[in-house]
Chains A and B, each alone.
Chain A
């Protein structure tokens, strides 16, 4: 790979600027007239001018964000303007309108998806490249040309790489613009990773903020993260235990929530283990078991004890499929080491993990632990859905592994109506249409994702275990990166990672060394709280403005075509266009985007079409035996696979004896990999992890002495009215829900707080200001503050938006789980103002869907 010392001067494509611009404005003038033009005489029923759906052009597309689902959106457009959105009606694949069967359900979009038009045309849209003119975080930018932006970025990249080495730039691309097959933002398959890897300067971020505990557990226990059943399998359970799981908020799969309704109609019983009585509990009429946050593994251990105590376990299943559940299933090489049953019965530590023992820790009465254990062990089939949130904790991976042990000891794995999730990835989609080759995911350092600020602030006095460095086999093994910049692509991580105040300190430290010595680039379609801290803002086309195909997220088996519904707004470009043009300037354009020429920056359509057509024909048609042609797929807009029976993870392992993908070929409750590690500092984990699931006391919880100073445990689940931080600026959504601190009524009474009062939530790490919602639906001692509010700093550093990550700790669990839910805090009434949005006028804008040129 040839790297030029200096970026090449901009020629060629940029000469087209004037001509393209003129062409664009002419086209717009023409379409702009459409809305204002004369209309047929007013009809009485509605507000004129009013276009019915039949008077508009219909284009099938999908929603696009990092939420856990993927649904159809249908754009109804006039000229180049989307007038409204609808969703799947069952007709697009060729069936009658209204078709909605259990095998082929409609993919109906949620409230976030339905609000997309407000995001597309929001006042926060970035329309031009911008360069920072104030201090970082001050929010002062000026408009510059693409040519200037890309030249300056390329120049700074070369300077930083040459001076600070191939680890200096951190890839913080994430899933904010992902789940297309072509335009990907992702750590492993993403466009940015391949770009920085080819450039020869990349530190990647390996731990997944939402579910690294679960990812670790699934890989260690089952050897794969594809441990999920498809959503229709839930309709066949007799018992569903929602452990920290709220599908009424997260949706999690195309129709999971709906299939659970069908299960309820067929007599399935539901249980919710959660500090909150959620809308899921209400809709499924669940037995609510409130539990102290971050004590889930202890309760599960108590359940395991009770199941063995009563001989309710499935010994035949254990003997055939499980390693290390008990003495008899320990591998020969580890005979005499502690099995899971030894641990539960207290053979080595002298402490039997009885329900009474667990009750002291988790706050659930021992009788309830026993009752749930009996229900789970004696109802067949039963789904223990161990969700991600309780794993976002100190030692969160132990909770996930403990859940896997319960699933295995009751034989609920690989059977319809059971559940081995975990991560919960179901059907395997063909996910990549862009070049995925030896340059994909090249990195020179890979860190635990929330450690970048810690590394910057303490460099060079940082150990490899603090950074969570992934091991390598070359001279870069164990070398802690000298971080000099970040690329944020489809990512709002500055707002979303833990301990924001530490991130601010890190960015200030780099700033103090002079502008030239660091580089922060934010690529997004709107301004974001992260973008405020960037040096360059690059306007990225939304998925309505580029050509792609949507994949289901975790559950569902379908592809949705995403044509370019409208032309990109302003001067926005796709990520792929930006990286291709940057690659040309840095000397590796043709290798980066082999189907393109440099003209791609101006005309990406034929190249995108070629990638997608090849993906469809070589992967979907060839591997998945779909007979529709690419043209047919494009015409219909959606392809739903129909299965003979619901897809169940590990069915082949259980029914046909196919080995699991673990070292032993079994479900590893005793992990071969973990048991054989001798030097933990040389692993990506950095610190020891037991070979069997164990309860490990977290560093903060309602059981710790720190509660004297900070008596409340704060959890920060995923909200329903945002996808993480995306859509926080949408007035429609803000009208339906508020950012608020949920608090139990008895706690509120003690503090003299009523619903609507504004409070400061604080601990040693930070403070945020937010109104309170007082309810009986939350466990005493626990407060709930949903993640993703757009930070809004007061002069003293207090956040006025109610962003919980000003209080979270940036110390991940050994396995990499973010400790988002391991937070003690206190609450006090305040006279300070909460600011739900940056702009007081935000609530008056969503009616105005005008293209601003």
Chain B
């Protein structure tokens, strides 16, 4: 359902942006994702749940389960990397937006797009190193994961997390995911978490709020 464009509202936002710039938001608490690359069976129930929740047609994919495989027959391996928006501490999309439609929440660090201000220019799509913003040609808007903000506000977890049949995808305060104090089934008793896996953009770019349980072949040597 495409929004009616309110040109005056967009203009006001652009002027506000010129005057005040982009304030860096230091959230009171930053939520982040955890995904277990090894135990994930790659079923993509999370992707379909996300599509249904957000009323998306084919094309835009807020959540993307990427399949990685390698080796030579018969010594092969395979694992999955599951990513949507990483709700970065320093989101690259935010300053790329010419209308100030992208904003970061103070309470939980969720990065969201105000669809009434989005003009579908797709600059954020180009700026994001993780491919999170998704262009929806039907509405001529860029859309992306907002961690099911309506669910969070109601005290519930996002649809993708509650869809996970293997219980390998979860959210928690990112600090707790990193220091191992978060209570989550995504991390097994012998698992370690890392901030980056092979093939993924350098986390230093935007400080993404996501950690992984990596596959042995997916580890990044530091």
Contact = CB atoms under 8 A, between A and B. Distances in A.
Interface of A: 42, 44-50, 52-54, 84-87, 89, 97, 100, 108-111, 113-115, 117-118, 247-248, 251, 255, 257-258, 261, 264-265, 277, 279-283, 285, 288, 290, 720, 731-737, 744-746, 775-780, 843-849
A283 B1 CA distance: 39
A45 B41 contact: no
A283 B38 contact: yes
Nearest to A83: B55
6 contacts: A47-B143, A53-B156, A257-B41, A265-B189, A290-B73, A776-B69
Contact of A777 (B78, B79, B112, B151): B78
Contacts of A280: 41
A776 B112 contact: no
Q: Which of B73, B138, B189 has the largest number of chain A CB atoms within 10 A?
A: B73
A649 B188 CA distance: 29
Given A89-B162, A248-B42, A46 B150 contact: yes
B52 A735 contact: no
Contact of A257 (B61, B149, B165): B165
B115 A46 contact: yes
A99 to B, nearest CB: 12
A543 B163 CA distance: 21
Interface in B73-103: 73-74, 76-79, 103
Contact of B163 (A108, A733, A843): A108
A844 B163 CA distance: 25
A52 B152 CA distance: 11
A47 B76 contact: no
Contacts of B146: 45-46
Nearest to A247: B41
Contact of A86 (B58, B76, B162): B162
Nearest to B65: A736
Nearest to B115: A47
B45 interface: yes
A115 B138 CA distance: 20
A780 B76 CA distance: 14
Interface of B: 1, 3, 38-45, 47-49, 51-59, 61, 65, 69-74, 76-79, 103, 112, 114-116, 138-139, 141, 143, 146, 149-151, 154, 156, 159, 162-168, 185, 188-190
B71 A776 contact: yes
A846 B57 contact: yes
A109 B165 CA distance: 7
Nearest to B70: A776
A736 B77 contact: no
Given A52-B150, A111-B47, A776-B69, A732 B42 contact: no
A779 B77 CA distance: 14
A111 B159 contact: no
B12 to A, nearest CB: 14
A734 B79 CA distance: 21
B7 to A, nearest CB: 16
A280 B165 CA distance: 14
B42 A258 contact: no
Contacts of A54: 154
B165 A110 contact: yes
Given A257-B41, A265-B188, A114 B48 contact: yes
B72 A108 contact: no
B44 A86 contact: no
Given A46-B150, A109-B163, A285 B38 contact: yes
